[in-house]
Amino acid sequence: MTKNRLIYLPLGGAGEIGMNAYVYGYGPAGKERLILVDLGVTFPDMDTSPGVDLILPDVSWLAARLDRLEAIFITHAHEDHIGALGRLWPQLQKPVYCRRFTATIGKLKFDEAGLPLDQIITVDARPATVEAGPFKVQFIPVSHSIPESSALVIDTPAGRIFHSGDFKIDQTPVVGEGWDDARITDLVAERPVKAMTCDSTNVFSNHAGRSESTLGPALTELIKSSSGMVVATTFGSNVARLKTLAEAARAADRSICVLGRAMKKMIGAAEQSGVMTGFPRTISPEEALEVPRRNLMLLVTGSQGERRAASAQLSRGKYLGVEMREGDTFLFSSKTIPGNEREVLRIWNAFSEKGVNVIDDTGGKYHVSGHANRPDLEHVHRLVLPDMLIPMHGEHRHLREHSRIATEAGIASAVVTNGMMVDLSGDVPEVVEHVETGRIYLDGTAMVGALDGVVRDRIRMALNGHALVTVILDENDQPMGEPWVELMGLPPTGRGDRPLVETLEGDLASFIDRASRKLLKDDVKLEDEIRKVLRQVAMEEIGKKPEVTVVISRLTAE
């Protein structure tokens, strides 16, 4: 009989923050039954993915093994865990299990994409159990910065896995269930944990995490002491923070207005799914315009500086009729994700020009993280007592540090990054295969592979500009007229202030005049030579070699 094995294979999220997608399998090698945990996106940036709308994990490995895939589980409704569901589900077509709030968000995505809503199945917390092939899966409530975040207990014949999901240790999270050590010790007592896959994002934060509930008093004080309008931004999905902010506003006798679709959607979903009650009454933007500024508090989207979100729009001018003025206060109740600093500071400076007081998290009084810091991770390691710890959800440096901590505590561990298939059946994790993984770009409505060259060409045009050459040859391979050059993204003049287009056209004309009959017959070679001449002349004129597209048109006698 073939030996069964228990495998773990990250397709996204291991070696990066974002785009979480983790596969578990159980069965004979190469015939394991599979489940997928999370299906998130990550966000593009100008440096590496200009023009791209969203970045999705490449799930083609799974799509080629659909007969083995049992189900999809989503731990929570953050975009980096659920964001690709609407786009990629058509490739997978398996039932999606998640808790109520997550299901509400998932169904909104399915509805938008025209997918069957009945494929999203709401599951209660443990002891409720989903059976998916050889897997028995339970949702364990954990605290995080969105309602109903869950760890998963995944039982297999080869042992129990504890998949942490994103979590922090917060007994008093304002909205939803608090962290409860007993919940963990109970499940460990029931059956020991063979392997724990664990959130690593905050492993470099050396202080213990703080509870969401510690923010209220400082926020209330800040809002009370502000003379003008107060506007606060945070992640729309952090409904606990929104509630804390709204309650602080009420304590300061202010009316509350929510600006930004994403934020309203999340508040709606939290109320609809029953995880949040008692959110203070809000008013519409129209009503807000009638309220004295000192009695008004806005909650707005765009904490990461997104250009189209409410924060950025308010920093540039009016948004839905609302305008910030000298003496108003703008609060970033959020942390800037590395890479978003420039955009966030642009907003800050724009507000500064308006005389708005901007307050950020520098003092640590108005924001707490949703992830477990190093001491919290160590605490959970001790609670779960796994035989093996596999760090997940982190850049390589996070995974490595997390693995080091586990190893130091005597737990077997390995750094497992996207595409590494690991056998968890034995006493230590063992790499058994490397699977091709990658990133898919959603670009407009098209899907483009990250390595297809499309985005590489965009980056090249951005760095080097783009020159186009049109050459027309007659039926005898003789040039008709002179080559035509068009430039985009290139300086108009070269040395001695000569127009660059004219210099290029002149030099190309001379080159073609001198070209041999043989060269003029050969499109590929001619194109290549024209490109070389153009790049060389440009280098002399402007010190830069542009990207070049050559169009050779041949007229045939009709």
Q: Which residue ranges make up the site for a second copy (CB under 8 A)? A: 15, 45-47, 50-51, 204, 338-339, 341-342, 345, 348-349, 351-353, 355, 358, 362, 395-397, 399-400, 443-448, 452, 454-455, 457-459, 461-466, 468, 470, 472, 480-481, 484, 486, 488-495, 539, 541-544, 547, 549, 551, 553, 555, 558
Cβ at position 501, least distance to a second copy in Å: 12
Read off the DSSP letter of residue 51: T
Closest CA to 372 of 495, 209, 154, 529: 209
N- to C-terminal Cα distance for the chain? Answer: 74
Name the E strands within 142-205: 150-156, 159-163, 193-199
For β-strands 230-233 and 255-259, DSSP reports them as unpaired
Closer by beta carbon to a second copy, 255 or else 315: 315
**Cβ closer to a second copy: 76 or 374?**
374
CA distance 234 to 242: 8
**CB-wise, 428 or 539, nearer to a second copy?**
539
Contact 347, 360 (CB under 8 A): no
Find residue 486's DSSP bridge partners.
Answer: 468
User: Measured from the CB of residue 14, what is the shortest distance to a second copy in angstroms?
Assistant: 12
**CA proximity to 380, closest of 202, 546, 247, 219:** 202
Please give the order of strands across the beta sheet that includes 420-423: 120-122, 96-98, 69-73, 33-37, 21-28, 4-12, 420-423, 430-434
Q: For a second copy, give the closer residue by CB, 224 or 400.
A: 400
C-beta of residue 7 within 8 angstroms of C-beta of residue 421: yes
Measured in whole angstroms, how far is the alpha carbon of residue 159 from the centre of its chain?
32
User: Residue 422 and residue 417: Cα distance in Å, rounded?
Assistant: 10
Nearer to a second copy, 50 or 157 (CB): 50
Residue linked to tokens 């007081």: 357
357, two tokens: 């007081």
Q: What is the CB-side half-sphere exposure of residue 27 using CA atoms within 13 A?
A: 15
The answer to whether the beta carbons of residues 447 and 440 sit under 8 Å apart is yes
Residue number with CB closer to a second copy (50 or 274)? 50
CA pair distance 546, 538, nearest whole angstrom: 7
CB of 558 to a second copy, least distance (A): 8
Q: How many CB atoms lie within 10 A of CB 272?
A: 12
Minimum distance of a second copy from residue 549's CB (angstroms): 5
User: Residue 260, CB half-sphere, CA atoms under 13 Å: how many?
Assistant: 28
- Whether the bond between 157 and the residue before it is cis, its omega within 30 degrees of 0, is no
Residue 400 beta carbon to a second copy: minimum distance, rounded to whole angstroms:
5
CB nearer a second copy, residue 192 or residue 339: 339
| 230: Cβ contacts below 8 Å, ≥ 6 apart | 222, 223, 249, 254, 296, 297, 298, 328, 329, 330, 331
Nearer to a second copy, 387 or 547 (CB): 547
Q: Which two tokens stand for residue 257?
A: 């207005």
Query: Residue 322: beta bridge partners?
Result: 319
CB of 163 vs a second copy, minimal distance in Å = 23
State the nearest-atom distance from the C-beta of 79 to a second copy, in Å.
19
Q: Which residues make beta-bridge pairs with 230?
A: 297, 329
User: And the tokens for 377?
Assistant: 């991770």
Among residues 144 and 374, whose Cβ is nearest to a second copy?
A: 374
The span from the CA of 104 to the CA of 120, in Å, is: 9
Report in angstroms how near the CB of residue 216 gets to a second copy at its nearest: 24
CB 401 within 8 A of CB 418: no
CB of 18 to a second copy, least distance (A): 13
CB of 401 to a second copy, least distance (A): 8
- In whole angstroms, the minimum distance from the beta carbon of 122 to a second copy comes to 32
Residue 324 tokens read as: 């910030």
Q: Closer CB to a second copy, residue 117 or residue 488?
A: 488
Nearest to 146 by CA among 263, 315, 308: 263
User: Vertex 118, ends 114 and 120: CA angle to 5°?
Assistant: 90
Q: Residue 179 Cβ, how far from a second copy at the closest point, in Å? A: 26
What number of other Cβ atoms are within 10 A of residue 191's Cβ?
11
Q: How far is the CB of 545 from a second copy (least distance, A)?
A: 9
CB of 133 to a second copy, least distance (A): 33
